[in-house]
Amino acid sequence: MTDSTDPDSSPLFEAKEFDESSVFSPKALLENARRQKDLPEHSVPDICILDPDGDIVRQLTATGEAQKDGAWPGYHTDLYRFERNDEEFGIVGCAVGAPFAVLLAEQLFAAGCQFLISVTSSGQIVPKDDPPYFVLIERALRDEGTSHHYRSTSRYATLDDELRASVEEACETVSRPVYTGAAWTTDAPFRETEAAIERARSEGILAVEMEAAALYTFADVRDRSVVCFAHVTNQMGQSEEDFEKGEAEGSRDALEVITTAATAWRSLN
């Protein structure tokens, strides 16, 4: 362990007892939120979605396909419900960054979620195609802080092999290309320097995003099913027409990927 008296030491790597239970639990948070808001205990759908950009939620609500769940007790978010292919989904929008994503993952699984899908807008590192396209993230570089509170340092967090194989095969049929590869998870998108980008490129990383490494570490430690997709929409603002997602802000394509991943997960359970 790092010497805590060293002025150059980082608390991020100190006082971590990874096998010790947390004093503060998501279950306790939800119970108190329900008490304060006078809400019934009501499970979320088996399959839930994190939509960091919020475009999918906005599209679903604009078309009347999604309804707000009045029993969701989260303090910081709204959860919406919608149906696709006879499957009910729960979705939370604008959950940007590793800390927020894992905060919600903990709460969603405590509230009855069985499978969590994250689809986040991402920057292109090693080109696979002209944006927009998707990357099924099979491993994510842990260049963020949240994952290091769940597990000791390792360079990458990885997707469960069985889940990866099932989702990868299923996604061969979707309209927009879905490539399988690595992502770089960062907490600081406006510190994507040339040196950092070159490091990622040298490791064959396809995209940069802000959640996957933390979500995969959480999933491994908590024995939960989580899959993350990078929706590669930009070259980090380096072209004149960056951040274009396609029809309906990319929500149509993203929903096709989501429902395909959900079917693949169901096939394993």
Mean pLDDT of 187-198: 93
Confidence of residue 181 (pLDDT cuts 50, 70, 90): very high
For 44-235+251-268, the fitting CATH number among 3.40.120.10, 3.40.50.1580, 3.40.50.300, 3.10.20.70 is 3.40.50.1580
pLDDT in tens, 16-46: 889 898 999 999 999 999 999 999 999 999 9
Q: Is the dihedral of CA 219, 87, 26, 54 positive or negative?
A: positive
Whether the pTM exceeds 0.75: the reply is: yes
Q: Is the pLDDT of residue 12 over 60?
A: yes
* Single-letter amino acid, residue 240: E
SS3 249: helix
* Single-letter amino acid, residue 88: E
The dihedrals phi and psi of 19, each to the nearest 5 degrees, come to: -90, -5
pLDDT of residue 5: 58
Confidence of residue 14 (pLDDT cuts 50, 70, 90): confident
pLDDT in tens, 247-257: 546 799 999 99
Q: Is the pLDDT of residue 104 over 50?
A: yes
**Where are the domains positioned within the chain?**
44-235+251-268
Indicate the helix (H) or strand (E) that contains 230.
strand 225-234
The dihedrals phi and psi of 72, each to the nearest 5 degrees, come to: -70, 125
